[in-house]
Chains A and B, each alone.
Chain A
C-alpha cells in the first residue's frame, strides 16, 4: 500500500487534469482576467467612487487599535490598500475585525435620488412591509404591533458579500455592509465589516448584533431568502440561538421583479441601477467575483484585491436607499406627477398592477388610463389589462382592448386565440349578438388550428373541443333565432 501522501498526490494529478478541462469552458478563464484588470483600475482612483455625488463621504474614526493584537495577513499594521480605504481595526469582547465607515450627508445624490428623500419615502413602504412580513407565525409578528409604521431611521440597509452561493452552513459572509440614516444629524452612514480570516467572524457578528438594536426592518435585495438566512445560520454556528424575535424585511427583489421582469434584460441590481435609477457604476467589480477576490486575499494577504469589493458593496447599500426612495415615490403616486410614467406599455401595465395590489388603486387607475389611451402600442399587456376591466365590470372598455389584442393576434404567425374567445363570449352573453360571436369563435378555431398543426397537447385538444362546442351552440342559437324570425 503506498503512503497516504503518494495517494493524495496521485489524486491531485487526477483532479488537476479535470480542472484544466473545465476552464476550457471559457467562464473560468475570463473571470480570471476580469479580476486582475478590475484590481488595477480599483487601486488607481479613490475619488472615482463618489465623484458623481454632490457631496462625498467623510471617513470616521472610532476606537481604533493598531497593531496590538493584529495576527493579520500583512504581519504588522494594516495593509496600505486598507489604510487608503480608511479601514480601521475594531476590537471587542470576542476579538477584532476590520471596519470601514463612510458618513454621507443626506444631501448626497445617488443617481436620480437624493438620500434625504428617504425620510419621507420610507413611510410609504408600509404596504410592502405588510405583505412581506405577514403570516410568518414568528413571535415577532405577534410581539410587534402590525401593521407597523416604517421610519427611515429604524431601517438597516444591509448587504453581505459571502464566500459562496446558497444558504448552507459553509457559506461565510466575509463582508457585512450596512447603512443607516440619522435625520437629526443629517447623515447616512455606511459601515462595512470585514474579517481578515474566518476566526474573526464571531467578533464581527457580535458587533452586527449590537447594530440591530432599535431596527424594525432590514432593507435588502434578496435578503429574505439569502442574506438573512445566511446570517441566522452564522449566529447559530457561533453559539447564538434564535430568540424568536427577528427584524422585519423590506426586500426589494420581489417588487423589482414585479415592475421590471419583462422590460429589463435581468433584475440584477446593477441593471436596475443603470436603467431605472440613473446610477452609473463605471468600473465595477461584479458581485459574483467577490468570493474569488476574497479567497485571493486570504491566500496572498494582498488587501488590494478587496478594494473593488468594498466599493461595490458600498454602492449596493446606497442603491438600497435609492430603491427605498423609488418604491416609496411610486406608492405615493409620483409617477405621472413629479416623475415621468414608464415608457414601455408593458412596464406601465406591470407598475399599475403592482400599485393596485399594494393599496394604490387610485394611483393605479391613472396609470391604467394612460395605458389604454389610444396610441399606446399593443403588446402582451392587452389581455391582462382587459381581464382587469372585465373583473371591474367595465365590459365595453375590456372589449376595446380585446379587439386590439385580436387584431394583433391575427398578424402573428402562431397566435393565441384568447382574445377571440373572450370577444366571442362578450358578444354572445353581454351584447347578445350571436352572429358576431360566431364569427369570433370560428376565427379562434382557425388560429388554434394553426398552432395545433405544429404541436399537440392535451391542453390544446381541450381548448379545441371547447371552441367546437361553443361554435355548435352558437349555430344552434342562430338557427333558433332564424326560425323564430
Chain B
C-alpha cells in the first residue's frame, strides 16, 4: 500500500491490508475464497474455416476454451445446444463460431439472434461486424428493433444474414408480418437465444409461446433451425431450455476459461441497538466499503435493489469522493436512464475513465462493461443466481477480485449472512416458466392464429388446442371452416399483449428547469410510488421534484430542487377472492387453506418525506392516483374460530403480522423465485373467509403457478416457519424473524409462535 496516496498496488495487497482493519473485520461474518483456475483449451476444430481462424488469430485467440470447442462440435452434430458458463468466459463465441462457419460456406443461410434487451443486441452487432470485417467477407448483421428506421427495415428483411432483435419485436413486428420476411424464414438455420436465464417467470412464459409461434412460422416456410442458447448459471439450464424451446438439448457446461482468485466477503452491519435488534443501515455500510475501495484506486461496481437506493448511494458516494474524483467518474446506472446516457456510461467503464458505478440489476445482464475489480452488493440480490451474476461483474481472468455482500436488516438477508453454508452449499435457483398459463397461452394462440390459420391436428402448448380454438370461435375471435380456424377480428392481437407486464408502458419524465428536456422513464408499476406529485425524483444524483403527473398522457413534469429529504410512498392493497379452485382442511380443522383466483387492487395513499442520511420522517402528504388492478392466482389459509377465539384482535394482528413477516422471506426460498414474484398479505378478518387469514399471490396477471406450489408445500412451509422463530436468538422479535418490536409489538414473537403451535397438530 502506498502510504502517501493510500492506493494499493494489487488487489491482494489491498485485501491483506483490509484483514488488519479491525473496524471492518468485526462485521465480516464469513470470508469465502475461490481459488484461481487455469485455462483449459482445445485446438481449433480442423473443419474451421481458415478465414475464421485467421481472424481469431489476429485477435490473439490461438485456441478455443474447452466449452467453446464442445459447443462447436455439438452444433456441427446437429444438436440444439445450451451453454452455461459464468460471466466473461467467452460464451458468445460458443454460438458465433458455428454461425459464422455456416455463413462462410453458405451465404444464403440466415440466423436470428434474440437478446432480452436492445442494449445487448447492439453490443452483439458490433462484435459480429468486427469479426466479419476482419475476415473481409460480406456478412451483414443488423439489429431490428423499435429504433430501426423504416427505410432500412426493408433492406434488413431481404438481405440481412444475421438479424439481431428482442422477443418483443419478434412478437409484435416480425411474426405478425412474416410474409415480408420470406427470405429469412425460408433460409433460417440458427436461432441464437442468449441470456436464457432472463426468460423466466411471466416474461419467460410469454417468450416460450413466442418461440412456439416462431417454430410454427419456420415450419410453414419449410425450415427447421437449430437453437443455440447461452445462459448464466442456473440450477436447471437444460431443463429450462427444453421447457422454453420444447426441443431436446445438449448441455455444454464444462467451463474452460481461466479465472483469477475470487473473494466473497459476507458483511453484516454492526448492531446499534441490541435489544431492538437494529443494525446500522446497509446503505451507509455499503457506501463506506465502496468509498474505501474507490479511494484505493479500485474500479468498483455497487449493486442496489431499488432505483431510489441507487440514486441515494450515488449521491452519497459522489459527495464522499468528490475531492478525489469529479462526479463524472462515479455514475449511476439503471432502467429509466435514456439509452444514450447508458451507452456513455458503459463506454466509460470499459475505458476505465469511470471508476465507480452504482446500478440496479440492469447491469446484471451481459452488457459489455469490461471486468471490474470489486463489487459491493447492497443487500442480498434476492436469489443465489443473481448474486453470482452480479458478483461476476468483478473478476478478471488474472488477478484477484472481491465481492462484499452487505446484509440489510430484512430477515432473508440476516438468515443468509448468518448461514453462509446455506448460500454457498446450495445450487443457484431454477428458472421456472409456466407457458401453459391459460391467459398467456390464449393470448398467443390468438397471435398465432393471426399469423397462420390453425388446422385440425395442430398442437400448440400443453392444453387441448381444439378446446381453446373452439372457445375463441365461440367468442367470434376465430372463424372455423372445414377444420381450419381463421383469425376473424379487426384488431391486431399482438398490440394488446405485452410480454413484460411490469414494463408495459413507460412514463416519461420531463425536466422543466430549463425548457423541456426528457430526463428518463419510469415503468407503469413504478410510477405511482416514484413520480406522484411532490415526489422527489433522483436522477444521476440530482434531485427533482415532480410538479405535475399527467397520468393519462403518461408524463411527469419535474423541476430541479435542492432539499435534504427523499420521498417514500405507501400503497394500500385490497384483495378479492374471485374463485376457489382447491380447498383442504388440516386434520384438526384448525387451518383451512384454499387456492384460487384473486383480484388485487393497489392504490397509492400517502408519501413520507424522509431526511437524507438520518432517514427520519419529517412530513407527509396524500397521493391522488387511480388504482391498479391485478387479476392473478393466490393461495391463502385461515385459522378457525377456536384458534382465533382465544386472542384479542390486537394479539391476532401481531401474531399474523409476525407470521407473515417470516413467510414472506421463507416462501421465495422454497419456491426458489425472486421475492418480488410473490406477495404476502395478512388480514385479521378477511372479507372472503371472515377469519384471520394470510394470503399469498403471484405478482403477475394470471399468475404463474407460484401460489399453487406454496399451497402444496403448506405444511412444510409452516413447520419451517415455526423452527425459524423458535431458533432465532432474539428476545422478543427481530428483523430476522417475526420483525422488529415496533412492528409486531412486544409479544409478537410469542404470539406468532403460539398461534403456530396451537394449530401445530394440524400443521406439522
Contact = CB atoms under 8 A, between A and B. Distances in A.
Contacts of A170: 176, 449-451, 487, 492-493
Question: Counting chain B CB atoms within 10 Å of each CB, which of A163, A168, A199, A236 scores highest?
Answer: A168
A457 B517 CA distance: 11
Nearest to A71: B482
A457 to B, nearest CB: 6
A439 B597 CA distance: 75
B442 interface: yes
Contacts of B492: 164-166, 168, 170
B179 interface: yes
Question: Counting chain A CB atoms within 10 Å of each CB, which of B178, B179, B487 scores highest?
Answer: B179
A197 B475 contact: no
A327 to B, nearest CB: 27
Given A11-B442, A168-B492, A232 B479 contact: no
A299 B489 CA distance: 12
A97 to B, nearest CB: 13
Q: Chain B interface residue count: which class?
A: 35 or more
Contacts of A12: 471, 475
B155 to A, nearest CB: 9
Interface stretch (B29-37, B132-140, B461-469): B461-469
A4 B442 contact: no
Contacts of A14: 631
Contacts of A233: 177, 179-180
A338 interface: no
Nearest to A162: B490
Interface in B408-463: 438-439, 442, 449-453, 463
A144 interface: no
Given A11-B439, A232-B179, A5 B490 contact: no
B476 A295 contact: yes
A447 interface: no
A242 B179 CA distance: 10
**Chain A facing B: main interface SS:** helix
A298 interface: yes
A7 B437 CA distance: 11
Nearest to B446: A170
Nearest to A298: B479
A12 B631 CA distance: 14
A448 B464 CA distance: 69
Q: Chain A interface residue count: which class?
A: 35 or more
B87 to A, nearest CB: 39
Contact of B177 (A7, A169, A234): A169
B515 A456 contact: yes
Question: Counting chain A CB atoms within 10 Å of each CB, which of B178, B481, B482 scores highest?
Answer: B481
A169 B452 contact: yes
A161 B182 CA distance: 25
Nearest to A199: B481
B479 A197 contact: yes
Interface in A162-193: 163-170, 172
Given A170-B450, A458-B515, A198 B486 contact: yes
A4 B492 CA distance: 26
Given A2-B581, A10-B579, A164-B491, A169 B179 contact: yes
Contacts of A237: 179, 452
Nearest to A232: B179
A111 interface: no
Contacts of B463: 4
A203 to B, nearest CB: 14
Contact of B479 (A5, A10, A198, A457): A198
A128 to B, nearest CB: 22
A291 interface: yes
5 contacts: A8-B438, A11-B439, A14-B631, A172-B487, A241-B182
Interface of B: 176-180, 182, 438-439, 442, 449-453, 463-464, 467-468, 471, 475-476, 479, 481-482, 484, 486-494, 515-516, 578-579, 581-582, 597, 631
Closest 9 CB pairs of A and B: A170-B450, A233-B179, A236-B179, A170-B487, A198-B486, A168-B176, A197-B481, A164-B490, A8-B471
